[in-house]
Amino acid sequence: MAGGAFTAKTRKYLWSLDAVDSVTQTRISYSSAFRDECMRRYNAGESPAVIFREAGLDPKIIGYKRVERCISRWKHAEQMVLES
């Protein structure tokens, strides 16, 4: 994928992962358990690419930018919770 729409084969693969709640041609919704675990590990100093790869979400498949945006969005959400 990395930059375009997911193929039917890629969507089927992504659907099979515990980390994924849903997939469309252009979007992935992640499970809350994966988001929580990802941020726990990220905050402990682990690489986002490694975390995603170990969950079966290789950045070569889903795109490195998607990984960066997820971490940024989830960090922002954590900060908003802490500030409220």
Burial of residue 29 (number of CB atoms within 10 Å: 0-12, 13-18, 19+): exposed
Tens digits of per-residue pLDDT, 2-43? 557 999 999 999 999 999 999 999 999 999 999 999 999 999
64-83 and 32-43 helices cross at what angle (nearest 10)? 90
In angstroms, the CA 75 to CA 24 distance is 24
- What pLDDT is attached to residue 1? 47
- Measure Cα distances from 24 to 60, 79, 81 in Å: 18, 28, 28
pTM: 0.90
The pLDDT-based confidence of 84 (bands split at 50, 70, 90) is: confident
Q: How far apart are CA 52 and CA 61, in angstroms?
A: 11
